[in-house]
Structure 1
Amino acid sequence: MQLDPELDLQLVRELNAPRELLYKCWTTPEHLVHWFVPKPHKVTHCSLDVRPGGACNTTFEVEGNLMENNGVYLEVIPNEKLVFTDGYTAGWKPAPEPFMTAIVTFEDLGGGRTRYTATARHRNPDTAKAHKDMGFYDGWGTVATQLETYAQGLKA
């Protein structure tokens, strides 16, 4: 995948958990609610229909404010790749104010380790800059650590 430095933000981490377990955490609402936003914020609702065109809906509570994030999956390769966007909602209805498309990949490194890559693609440089300024690297980095910790707890 060719990155555009004006439009794309990317986080790459090696996580100490198998990719199948990380994928399960990403695709199961009962798991996703535990790690998907930086604590102390939380996910208050999660509805996932993990297939191309299926809904990918979450609601976050951030400092007492509810933030809905509704979208659809564009591509699903079990245990390898998830692509979802808020550019559309279920039924391919265009969203009034799309923000980004996310591409998450899970590469098996052996020994129960995974190269985890999360890419946020934006429609224009201003949106990408706003996302970066909102704390993309710190926030998505914190979430990657929370994902790893949560997945390790499931292994036990």
Structure 2
Amino acid sequence: MSTQKPHAISTHLIKASPEIVWKFLTDAALLNIWWLNAEKLAYKCSTDLKVFGIFRTILEHKQNKTAYDYLYLEIIPNRRLTFTSALMPDLSPGNPALAETISFDLFEIEQGTRLVPDLKAKNFSELETIASTSAHRAWIYNLTTLQKLAEQMQAEINQLKNQMPVPTRPAQP
């Protein structure tokens, strides 16, 4: 019997540096723009970017607020980010209905960054539920939005760099 957990991996080639992609994965203001925003719902993200820190998303719908907490497990700046809903900050079990672990691997390539998100679920039925609902479409939409925004930011930075005058040394007497 295999002990490997079911997971869904995708690959995204982003024409932006790993540093820019990392910002979109870790900066709360940027997360609020693209994370879980496919249906234009009122999500708010907050981050405490440290191992065992909390990544929280709050859905505000009408008079209700629902918080989803993830615990950061692995943080390698500009390379790898892993968080899970399977554990709480005190390391007790998390929400069993939403026990998932998400990893983002970033690889620097000539054209920018190869981003490889990996969603691990506790069992195949949970993964099938995610894949068969709008959650999967939203996930793809959100990653596509992240890609477009990161590429736009990289283009703006490149444009600013090209506009900056090249410093010259003063003439020697």
Between the aligned partners of 2:60 and 2:152, the Cα distance in structure 1 is: 24
Higher Rg: 2
Alignment of 1:24-103 (within 5 A): 24-61=23-60, 66-97=65-96, 98-103=98-103
Superposed CA deviations along residues 75-104 of structure 1, whole A, max 9, x for unmatched, are 111000011000112232321324210011
Report SS of the residue matched to 2:33: coil
**Deviation at 1:117?**
0.6
Deviates more, 1:144-153 or 1:19-28: 144-153
Q: TM-score normalised to the size of structure 2?
A: 0.77
Tell me, what secondary structure is at the counterpart of 1:44? Answer: strand
Distance 2:132 2:62 in 1: 18
**TM-score, normalising length: structure 1:** 0.84
What amino acid is the match of 2:100?
A: M
* Superposed structure 1 runs of 4+ greater than 3 Å apart: 60-67
Structure 2: any 5+ residue segments left out of the alignment?
157-173
Q: Secondary structure at the match of 1:92?
A: coil
Deviation at 1:64, TM superposition (A): 8.8
The structure with the largest helix share of the pair is 2
After the TM superposition, which of the residue ranges 137-146 and 18-27 deviates more from structure 2? 137-146
- Cα 1:153–1:61, aligned 2, differ >3 Å: closer, same or farther? farther
Note if contact 1:33-1:43 (Cα within 8 Å) is conserved in structure 2. no
Structure 1 residues 122 and 17, CA gap change in structure 2 (3 angstroms): same
Partner AA of 1:31 in structure 2: L
CA-based RMSD: 2.2
Map Cα deviations across residues 38-77 of structure 1 (whole Å, 9 max, x no partner). 4332453222111211111112357997542211011111
Assess, with a 3 A threshold, how the Cα gap between structure 1 residues 64 and 132 changes in structure 2: closer, same or farther: farther
1:141 to 2:160 alignment:
no
Which stretch shifts more, 134-143 or 67-76? 134-143
Paired positions, count: 151
Kept in 2: contact 1:41–1:62 (CA 8 A) = no
Moved more, 131-140 or 43-52: 131-140
1:19–1:62 Cα change, 3 Å: farther
Q: Please, which runs of 5 or more residues in structure 1 have no aligned partner?
A: none
Contact 1:42 1:60 in 2 (8 A): yes
Is the partner of 1:95 in helix, strand or coil?
coil
Summarize the Cα distance change of 1:81–1:94 in structure 2 as closer, same or farther, 3 Å threshold. Answer: same
Distance in 1 between the 2:62 and 2:150 partners? 26
Contact 1:105–1:118 under 8 Å retained in 2:
yes
